[in-house]
């Protein structure tokens, strides 16, 4: 069987060509519609992580990269552009802002071409405090496209703190107990972000404290600018005073520790010594008193003062009383004013006469005070001495008159006078 060949007239061929052309045009139009209907967003990718020390500026750091599918060079493929260092279509204009994540106002970023159809966003910033911060970048296109995303992190370490100055003498602070020890110190923060021209003089995250070394609670101190005696503007100043009790072991020195701490972790400390001597005890006027015989009494037998003033307390002392009759007992102390004390004791004298007392007071630091007093004990009653008359009770008077037939009268002296009645 031979091959059958279909023949078309010229008119038919023209019709077929027209249909094919129309189908091709429709396909091109549909493809064009599909491309036009898909708007590729700006795609943000990560920048270069930041590592720095607080207060030190980060300069021109790349915090994000991005591409824009609507802004490419379509006529040159990647392989053809490979020899070129940078190739970006420049038909769009971009602006960028950077939120550095530390609460400061967002700043502008610089957009530049960084590779084939790729752009980068760079910026400069100074982190005033340590911590980890998330960086957010917003890119705006001149054709109103926009993209926002977290593209970078900043890890900022704490700057070192250093001791700078103090008012300490060459040796220890020397005081008598009850006197005030004034400590001043200054620390330097290696954070160049402070002092600010119109803001804090030092990092507000820094705190200070003093351990006075005598068992009292550690004292938190609000830091301030250093005192005028220190020419160290921008330092962190610590100033406080403390009243010491003398140590129980003579010659013992207290160790004072002053510490500055940053909330980022840095600390610095300095130690000093304080040498506190025992305040003097002074004897009061000698006491003289009358003590009843054969019954207990509790007289004040001595008084004294302690130059430590309000620092002195009853519990700092013990007292012993020798009553002058061969017996002794522990005395009781009472505080009558700041630094002033009385010594009392309870005792019963068995014999009359004048008694010479000796009172000894010891304070906890080892100082001893000796005082004297005089007690006068009146003569005691003896057997056979007249006793005070006792008045009879009123109901007894008519009873006597009835029984014995007496006329009874009471004289002005209180004596009873009786006379038998005659019948």
One domain for residues 101 and 84: yes
Which span out of 28-37, 95-104, 395-404 was modeled with the highest average pLDDT? 95-104
Assess contact for 345 and 332: CB atoms under 8 A.
Answer: yes
Q: Mean pLDDT over residues 170-179, rounded?
A: 92
The candidate with the shortest Cα–Cα distance to 206, out of 99, 128, 121, 145, is 128
363 lies in some domain: yes
Q: Are residues 89 and 177 located together in one domain of the fold? A: no
- Whether 175 and 271 share a structural domain: yes
Least Cα distance to 373 among 329, 322, 330, 298 occurs for 322
Dist. CA 290–CA 222, nearest whole Å? 58
56 and 121 assigned to the same domain: yes
Return the number of other C-beta atoms located less than 10 Å from residue 55's C-beta: 20
Tally of structural domains, the chain: 4
**Domain endpoint, select from 157, 178, 195:** 157
Q: What is the CATH number of the domain that holds 324?
A: 2.60.40.10
Is residue 174, in this structure, part of any structural domain at all? yes
Q: What per-residue confidence (pLDDT) applies to 411?
A: 45
286 and 268 together in one domain = no
pLDDT band at 69 (very low <50, low <70, confident <90, very high): confident
| 108-117, 278-287, 387-396: which is most confident | 278-287
Residue 390 has pLDDT above 80, yes or no: no
| Together in a domain, 166 and 151 | no
397 has pLDDT over 70: no
**What local confidence, expressed as pLDDT, does residue 157 receive?**
97
Please indicate, yes or no, if residue 142 is contained in any of the structural domains.
Answer: yes
Of the residues 246, 261, 277, which one is the last residue of a structural domain? 277
Average pLDDT over residues 320-327: 97
pLDDT at 34 over 60: no
Tell me the CATH number at 83.
2.60.40.650
Query: In which domain, by residue range, is 65 found?
Result: 42-157
Asked if 356 and 261 sit in the same domain, the reply is no
Same domain, yes or no, for 285 and 297?
yes
User: What is the rounded distance in angstroms from the CA atom of residue 185 to the CA atom of residue 215?
Assistant: 21
32 domain-assigned: no
The residue assigned the tokens 């296109």 is 141
Please enumerate in sequence order all residues whose Cβ is within 8 A of that of 285, keeping only pairs 6 or more positions apart, or say none. Answer: 303
- Residue 289, domain member (yes or no): yes
Residues 56 and 128 in one domain: yes
Q: Would you say residue 9 lies in a domain? A: no
**The residue to which tokens 């003498």 are assigned:** 169
Tokens of 346: 């309870």
Query: What is the distance between the alpha carbons of residues 311 and 277, in angstroms, rounded to a whole number?
Result: 13
Ramachandran region of residue 72, left (φ > 0), alpha (ψ -120 to 50) or beta? beta
pTM of the predicted protein model: 0.68
Asked whether residue 180 carries a pLDDT value surpassing 80, the answer given is: yes
Which of 115-119, 180-184, 219-223, 302-306 is predicted with the least confidence, judged by mean pLDDT? 115-119
Please write the tens of the pLDDT for every residue from 225-273.
Answer: 887 667 776 789 999 999 999 998 888 999 999 999 999 999 999 999 9
CB of 180 closer than 8 Å to CB of 243: yes
Instruction: Select from 118, 119, 116 the least CA-distant residue to 76.
Output: 116
Please give the backbone phi and psi of residue 194, each rounded to the nearest 5 degrees, phi first: -125, 150
Which residues are registered as beta bridge partners of 135?
A: 152
333 in the same domain as 246: no
The span from the CA of 398 to the CA of 196, in Å, is 109
With H, G, I as helix, E, B as strand and everything else as coil, classify residue 234.
Answer: coil
Please return the burial class of 109, using the count of CB atoms within 10 Å of its CB with bins 0-12, 13-18 and 19+: buried
Whether 330 and 349 share a structural domain: yes
The residue among 157, 181, 204 that closes a domain is: 157
Radius of gyration of the chain (CA): 52
Chain centroid offset of residue 363 CA: 35
Between CA 372 and CA 262 the distance in angstroms is 60
Average pLDDT score over the chain:
81
In which region does residue 254 sit, left (phi positive, over 0), alpha (psi from -120 to 50) or beta (all else)?
A: beta
Q: Is the pLDDT of residue 61 over 70?
A: yes
Percent of the chain with pLDDT over 70: 75
Quote the CA–CA distance of 343 and 369 in Å, as a whole number: 12
Distance CA 106, CA 191 (A): 22
Residue 324 in domain:
yes
Distance CA(291)–CA(377), nearest Å, equals: 5
Least confident segment among 69-83, 108-122, 197-211: 69-83
Chain mean position to CA 193: 24
412 domain-assigned: yes
Same domain, 141 and 60: yes
Say whether the peptide bond before residue 277 is cis (omega within 30 degrees of 0): no
């Amino acid at each position: 069987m031979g091959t059958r060949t279909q023949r078309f007239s010229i008119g038919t061929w023209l019709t077929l060509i027209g249909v094919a052309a129309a189908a091709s045009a429709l396909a091109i139009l549909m493809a064009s519609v599909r491309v036009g209907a898909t708007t590729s967003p700006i795609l943000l990718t990560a920048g270069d992580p930041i590592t720095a020390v607080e207060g030190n500026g980060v300069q021109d750091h790349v915090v994000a990269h991005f591409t824009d599918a609507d802004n490419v060079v379509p006529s040159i493929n990647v392989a053809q552009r490979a020899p070129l260092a940078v190739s970006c279509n420049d038909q769009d204009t971009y602006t960028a802002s950077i939120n550095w994540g530390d609460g400061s106002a967002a700043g502008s970023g610089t957009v530049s071409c960084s590779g084939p159809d790729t752009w980068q966003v760079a910026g400069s910033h100074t982190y005033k405090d340590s911590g980890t911060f998330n960086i957010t970048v917003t890119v705006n296109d001149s054709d109103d496209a926009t993209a926002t995303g977290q593209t970078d992190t900043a890890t900022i370490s704490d700057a070192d703190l250093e001791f700078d100055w103090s008012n300490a003498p060459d040796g220890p602070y020397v005081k008598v107990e009850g006197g005030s020890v004034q400590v001043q110190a200054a620390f330097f923060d290696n954070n160049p972000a402070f002092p600010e021209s119109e803001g804090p003089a030092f990092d507000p995250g820094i705190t200070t404290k003093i351990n006075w070394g005598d068992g009292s609670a550690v004292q938190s101190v609000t830091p301030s600018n250093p005192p005028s005696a220190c020419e160290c503007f921008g330092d962190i100043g610590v100033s406080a005073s403390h009243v010491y009790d003398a140590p129980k072991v003579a010659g013992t020195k207290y160790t004072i520790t002053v510490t500055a701490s940053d909330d980022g972790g840095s600390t610095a400390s300095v130690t000093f010594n304080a040498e506190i001597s025992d305040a003097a005890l002074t004897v009061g006027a000698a006491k003289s008193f009358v003590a009843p015989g054969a019954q207990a009494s509790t007289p004040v037998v001595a008084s004294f003062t302690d130059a430590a003033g309000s620092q002195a307390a009853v519990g700092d002392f013990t007292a012993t009383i020798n009553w002058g009759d061969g017996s002794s007992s522990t005395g009781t102390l009472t505080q009558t004013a700041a630094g002033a004390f009385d010594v009392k004791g309870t005792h019963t004298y068995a014999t009359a006469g004048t008694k010479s007392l000796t009172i000894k007071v010891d304070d906890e630091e080892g100082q001893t005070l000796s005082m004297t007093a005089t007690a006068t004990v009146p003569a005691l009653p003896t057997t056979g001495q007249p006793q005070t008359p006792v008045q009879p009770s009123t109901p007894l008077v008519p009873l006597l008159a009835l029984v014995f037939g007496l006329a009874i009268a009471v004289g002005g002296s209180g004596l009873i006078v009786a006379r038998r009645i005659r019948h």
